[in-house]
Amino acid sequence: MLDIRRISNSRWWHKKKNWILFAFFLFLVFVRISKGSFYKDFYYLISKPFWPGQFQKEILLKSIDQESLIKLNLLKKDNMRLREILYLQESSNNDKVSAAVISRKTGSWWRQIIINKGSKDGLELGSPVIGPGGLLGRITDTSLFTSSVTLLTSPESKVGVWVDRIQTNGLLVGTGSNQPILILYSKTADIEVGDFVSSSPASTLLPPNIPIGIVQSVDETFKTKKTAKILLLAKPQVIDWVQIIN
């Protein structure tokens, strides 16, 4: 009797170790069936703090920035050299003076703003004035503490502009309304509604590539030229602060 009892105690399922081994086997089967998804997700969670991507991304972006900066500087130098050769205005954006608008006449015939910086602050006649959106006009008068800016909408304003899509120069003329008129002295110019207009790279008065406006409508009634109404990007009637490019 005693012998029989000893034999039954030694069966494999009576051993805890075997059950653990079986559980582990089942777990491996589950991992195999789920194609390791549980395992991968778990790994995802525990390895997250040690991912190399974040750091590498920063390094990568920094190096791209540096590369762009170097390229930009090279292009700037190149541009300045070429503009010097062509006797054109320089496109330096470094010397910007901020000023507040203290008087605003944006309706009727007189379209001008007066800003709170004058000759005392080194502002000069003819300096372009930009606001949020793009070009507003040019300084046409300075006193010690103030400067008057003739807006692009003034009947006295005439500025050379560039239509980027068709690579054509034109003349932007103020008419005393909120939309100045672009004149293209070519009947074949393929100007369309929505075309972007910026200051002309060939202009001797303004730095190149300052955003000005978008073509709102095209008029083809003239025999020798095309005209278009321009919707200005900078709104002088609501702008309180401007920047002057010296």
Partner 1 sequence: MKKFFMKNLSIIALICIPIIFLWHPNWIGFLGFQPYWPLFWLLPFSMINGSINGLIFGFFLGLILDSVTLDRSFTQIPGLILCGALFGKIKINNSILVGHFRYGLICSFGSFLCGTLYFLQILFKSLSDNIVMLFIPSIQNILAEVFLTGLFAPLICSQLLKLFKFSRGKSAIKNYLKN
List residues near partner 1 by CB under 8 A: 103-110, 112, 114, 140-141, 148, 150, 154-156, 173, 175-178, 181, 183, 221, 227, 237
Contacts of 82 (CB under 8 A, 6+ apart): none
How near is the Cβ of 169 to partner 1 at its closest, in Å? Answer: 16
Name the residue nearer to partner 1 (CB basis): 148 or 198: 148
Cα–Cα distance for residue pair 122/128, rounded to 1 Å: 13
Query: What would the two tokens of residue 142 be?
Result: 């300075």
Name the residue nearer to partner 1 (CB basis): 180 or 207: 180
How near is the Cβ of 71 to partner 1 at its closest, in Å? Answer: 41
Alpha-carbon Rg of the chain, whole angstroms?
Answer: 35
Cα–Cα distance for residue pair 3/37, rounded to 1 Å: 50
Name the residue nearer to partner 1 (CB basis): 44 or 110: 110
How near is the Cβ of 124 to partner 1 at its closest, in Å? Answer: 16
How near is the Cβ of 181 to partner 1 at its closest, in Å? Answer: 5
Encode 185-215: b = buried (16+ Cβ within 10 Å), e = exposed: eeeebebeeebebbbbbebeebbbebbbbeb
How near is the Cβ of 142 to partner 1 at its closest, in Å? Answer: 11
Name the residue nearer to partner 1 (CB basis): 88 or 242: 242
Name the residue nearer to partner 1 (CB basis): 94 or 108: 108
Cα–Cα distance for residue pair 146/13, rounded to 1 Å: 99
